[in-house]
Amino acid sequence: MCTALTLTSKDGFHFFGRNMDIDYNFNQSVIFVPRNLDWENVVNGESNKTKYALLGMGTLMNNHPLLADGMNEKGLGCAGLNFLGFAHFEENRLAGKVNLGPYDLMLWILSNFGSVSEVKSALEEVNLINKPFAPKLPVPTLHWMVHDKNEESIVIETTPDRIAVYDNKIGVLTNQPAFDWHIMNLNQYMALSPMQPETTTWHKQQLEPIGNGLGLKGLPGDFYPSSRFVRSAFLKNHAAFLDTKESTISEFFHILGNVAPIGGSVITQEGKQFITLYSSCMCLENGVYYYNTYNNSQINAIDMFKEDLDGHEIKVFKYPDTQAINFQN
C-alpha cells in the first residue's frame, strides 16, 4: 500500500512524492548519488555509470543504492509502488535489450534521463528480469510513476507480454489493480463536489444540508488502494492553497496525510501494523527532498545542489524518526 502524488504551485514549482505504506522498516535513509558513479547491473554483471546526480529514499546495500523514490538534477522524479499479484517479470535475458532487475529500474531511469519523453522512448528497449538482488531478498513486485518539471507523468506496469506505459493525466498512483482500471473507476465519483448541495423539496418536504461537507457524501474513506486513489485524485484536483512553493508543500503533506494509515487502522494477516513509514515531497526545480517520518511529523529537507554533484562517493543522511517539537516559551 502506497500513494504517489503530483502538485504544481501557481508560482511555477513542480512537486512529486509519495507515502511509503509498509509493515516493516527497511533500513531506509535519504541517499545522494553523484554523477559518474559506477554501479553493477546484477542481472548481467555489467558496470554502469550515472550520467546525472540523484537524491532519494532507499537502502544502500554493498554500496548499491536500492531506491524507493527519488529525483535527479534535471528535475525528473520516480517512485516504485507495490503492485502485488499483477507485476510480471521475465525469467530470461534478451539479446539487444537493457536487462534489469525491477529494483534497478529507478536507478537506471534517474541516472540516465532528464524528462518523461526520454524515458518513454527508452523503455521500449527494457527487459525486466525476475532475479533477486541478493539470495535472501525477494524480487519486489512493483509498478512505477515517473514525473518531470514539464508536468508530464507516466505509469509503468509490466504484463506477461510487454511493459505497459500509461500517460498519467490525473497525477496520482496507488497499488493494484492496473492503472487503467483506476482511471475507469474514477468515473463513478465524478458527481462529488466540495460545494454544498442546494436545498430541494421532495413532494412537500423541504430538504437541506444540516452541516458542511455533504457534497462529498460517498467519497471512500478506507485505505484500500482504489479508495486511496479516488480520495487522492479528488483532493489534488480541488487543492486550494497553491499560491506559493511553501503553501503547496503544506498542501502536499496534507493530502498525503489524508490517505496515510496509522497504527491500528490496518493490520496484516500476519498481525503486523501497516503504517505510513514516511511521506516524501520533492521539488523538481530546486532539487530539495522534503520528508517526514511516522514518529517525527516535522518536515525535513535535503538540498541536492548543496552537495558535490561530481563527487566520488554516495552520501547517506541520518533518518530522523524521533518526534521534534518546537517549544515557543
pLDDT for the residue 292: 98
Distance CA 147, CA 16 (A): 7
pLDDT for the residue 161: 72
Distance CA 121, CA 226 (A): 29
Active-site residue flag, 2: yes
Q: What is the DSSP letter of 92?
A: S
Distance CA 50, CA 174 (A): 28
> What is the residue-level pLDDT of the chain in tens, covering all 329 positions?
799 999 999 999 999 999 999 999 999 999 999 999 999 999 999 999 999 999 999 999 999 999 999 999 999 999 999 999 999 999 999 999 999 999 999 999 999 999 999 999 999 999 999 999 999 899 999 999 999 999 999 999 998 877 899 999 999 999 999 999 999 999 999 999 999 999 999 999 999 999 899 899 999 999 999 999 999 999 999 999 999 999 999 999 999 999 999 999 999 999 999 999 999 999 999 999 999 999 999 999 999 999 999 999 999 999 999 999 999 99
Beta strand segments in the chain, E: 2-8, 14-22, 29-33, 38-40, 47-49, 54-61, 64-72, 76-82, 98-100, 126-128, 142-148, 153-159, 162-167, 172-173, 200-202, 205-207, 275-283, 288-293, 296-303, 315-316
Specify burial of residue 102 (Cβ count, 10 A radius: 0-12, 13-18, 19+).
buried
3-state SS, residue 7: strand
Neighbours of 113 (CB within 10 A): 23
pLDDT for the residue 163: 85
3-state SS, residue 187: helix
For the chain, what are the domain ranges? 2-178+242-316
pLDDT for the residue 160: 81
pLDDT for the residue 193: 94
Q: What is the DSSP letter of 219?
A: -
The CATH class that applies to domain 2-178+242-316 reads alpha beta
pLDDT for the residue 115: 98
